[in-house]
Amino acid sequence: MYLKTLTVRGFKSFASATTFEFEPGVTAVVGPNGSGKSNVVDALAWVMGEQGAKTLRGGKMEDVIFAGTSDRPALGRAQVTLTIDNTDGALPIEYTEVTISRTLFRSGGSEYAINGSPCRLLDIQELLSDSGLGREMHVIVGQGQLDRVLRATPEDRRGFIEEAAGILKHRRRKEKTLRKLDATQANLQRLEDLTQEIG
Ligand code: ATP
């Protein structure tokens, strides 16, 4: 599995549609300070389901939409599309190429799609989580973040590894199931009480 193309439109400094084509192996993005290199990484995190405005270096999610410059008005929506090569089947979906896209409207609405079909954010997060590209985004190591990983508590470090190994999804499901079991147990107890009262 590798990232094939990334198209940004109306996202941060990228007002016009801009497509980045990647090859397998290492890709380096170079450019002067403030030219938008980190915005490319933000776009990757965003399309893969990042929900934290701060992680995206903004105050609120709307800040990812092109805010306008002296010669170009602000835009009403940000859209990022990522195409992933899945010939090795790393993503649990029967396509050798997977395209995910995310759109945010200034009015507040959001749209998500997998291979052109509308879906929920959760579907994208679940699709990617087995590959290690989960919602916690530990595969994206930002500037200064290495320091944080080195100073993390053992629990946090375990979280990084679980996310990368695709285990976190199952742990979350287990926790959800345990909560449901608890609720069912409580219902059963109530039923027993009622039966005794009637009997
Ligand atoms: P450095 O090397 O200094 O880290 P960089 O190349 O990584 O810089 P970025 O941080 O990616 O640069 O880009 C910053 C630029 O993006 C700034 O000029 C900022 O004004 C612009 N920018 C960020 N958000 C928006 C937005 N919503 N609309 C328009 N421009 C934006």
Burial status of residue 195 (CB atoms within 10 A of its CB: 0-12, 13-18, 19 or more): exposed
Amino acid at 105: F
Mutate to test the pocket of ligand 1, among 6, 8, 13 (most ligand atoms within 8 A of CB): 13
- Structure tokens that stand for 47 in this block: 């399309």
For 55-88, the pLDDT digits (tens) are 888 899 999 999 999 999 999 999 999 999 999 9
Q: What is the pLDDT of residue 146?
A: 79
Residue 178 shares a structural domain with residue 162: no
Element (H, E) at 154: helix 154-165
Segment 145-173 mean pLDDT: 82
The CATH number assigned to the domain holding 114 equals 3.40.50.300
Residue 111 shares a structural domain with residue 30: yes
Give dist(CA 165, CA 168) in Å, integer: 8
Residue 182 shares a structural domain with residue 127: no
Helices (DSSP H) in 12-153: which residue ranges? 37-47, 121-129, 145-150
Residue 17 shares a structural domain with residue 50: yes
Residue environment code for 153-171, b if the CB has 16+ CB neighbours within 10 A, otherwise e:
eeeeeebeebbbebbbbee
Phi first, then psi: give them for residue 156, nearest 5 degrees: -65, -40
Residue 82 shares a structural domain with residue 178: no
Cβ of 43 below 6 Å from ligand 1: no
Q: What is the pLDDT of residue 171?
A: 83
For 105-153, the pLDDT digits (tens) are 999 999 999 999 999 998 998 898 877 675 555 577 777 777 888 888 9
Cβ of 41 below 6 Å from ligand 1: no
Cβ of 77 below 6 Å from ligand 1: no
Numbered residues of the known binding site for ATP: 32-39
Residue 36 shares a structural domain with residue 69: yes
Residue 86 shares a structural domain with residue 183: no
- Give 14 Cα–ligand 1 centroid separation in angstroms: 9
- From the list 101, 125, 117, the residue with the least C-alpha distance to 51 is 125
- How many domains does the chain fold into? 2
Which residue would you say has higher pLDDT here, 84 or 172?
84
Which residue would you say has higher pLDDT here, 149 or 5?
5
Q: Write down the ipTM of this complex.
A: 0.94
Query: To which residue do tokens 């395209």 refer?
Result: 99
Residue 71 shares a structural domain with residue 132: yes
Measured CA to CA in angstroms, residue 90 lies from 20, 95, 98, 155, 166 at distances of: 22, 10, 11, 27, 11
83 lies in which domain range? 2-166
